[in-house]
Amino acid sequence: MFKIGEFSKLTQVSIRMLRYYDENGLLKPAQTDPNTGYRFYSVEQIPVLHKIIFLRDISYTVSEIKSALDHWTGDFIADQLRNKQIEVRRSLEQEQEKLKRIEVALDSIKKDKIDIRYDFTIKQIPSYPVISLRRVIPDYFCEGLLWKELTELIQKQKIDLPVNEQCFAIYHDNEFKEQDVDVEVCVLVEKVVESGNLRCFRETEAVAMMASTMVCGPFENISGAFRSLAYWLTEHSSFKMKGKNRQICHRGPWNEGNPDDYLTEIQIELEKCE
């Protein structure tokens, strides 16, 4: 038998931790002197202590350690460790995502992008003949599926498009929505075709006043353009937002390999304040 101090030195585990394991029912002393209260440990307890330390180091709670020690069989502990492996991997993925966000923020600070202000111009937008698809989609990330559906429709119907093909998206919601967003994707055509089978040809509405700005770089920069519009509207108090906004991707994943070279035009409908 070893006194607690001797056992601590031999196992390289502090007396404080040995007492903690005793108090929580993980590793009781082999004997306790009824007169002095001294704790004594046996060499047979060393493997149990190693199991406790191992489980503690892979983030097992006290209750989980107790359960594992009580059911330390091959199949049970193997299942336990597989579950813990999944949990740790999920946690690592979440931490990696946090690291990415920090890296983006640091990069933005270096490039002075956090406080960047976009210049807005006001222009008239005429009515356009387009072939379009409008859907309520789960979120903005699903817009690509809408473009894919429209492209397949154009190819299937063998619709002729202008040489300088132009595409844009119209966002019909009056506010930002995290889900169930009303989006219409449009491709300019030479003229609206009357067809009983196809209901996707139409004339878009002309817009008298549209605030427009160009956003360079990845699509993540677009949110910064909308924040800049808030400052612009404060400085130009005779205007206010109205209705829908549009987005024209002049350079994107289909014709640019580097996201830093993307070019997106943001258009927000305005009206004069009364």
Are the CB atoms for 155 and 169 separated by under 8 Å? no
What percent of the chain shows pLDDT beyond 90? 38
- Beta bridge pairs of residue 136: 182
Nearest to 145 by CA among 189, 199, 177, 183: 183
CA–CA dist 214, 266 (Å, integer):
6
**Residue ranges of domains in the chain:** 2-72, 121-272
- Beta bridge pairs of residue 34: none
pLDDT of residue 185: 94
Given pLDDT bands bounded at 50, 70 and 90, which one contains residue 218? confident
Are the CB atoms for 247 and 168 separated by under 8 Å? yes
pLDDT of residue 49: 93
Averaged pLDDT for residues 5-28: 92
Q: Which CATH class is domain 121-272?
A: alpha beta
CA–CA dist 20, 5 (Å, integer):
14
Given pLDDT bands bounded at 50, 70 and 90, which one contains residue 220? confident
E strand or H helix at 74: helix 74-110
In three-state secondary structure terms, 85 is helix
pLDDT of residue 191: 78
Q: Has residue 111 got a pLDDT over 60? A: no
CA–CA dist 262, 264 (Å, integer):
7
Averaged pLDDT for residues 226-240: 89
Quick: pLDDT tens for 20-71: 999 999 999 999 988 888 999 999 999 999 999 999 988 888 998 998 888 8
Architecture category of domain 2-72 in CATH:
Orthogonal Bundle (1.10)
Are the CB atoms for 38 and 32 separated by under 8 Å? yes
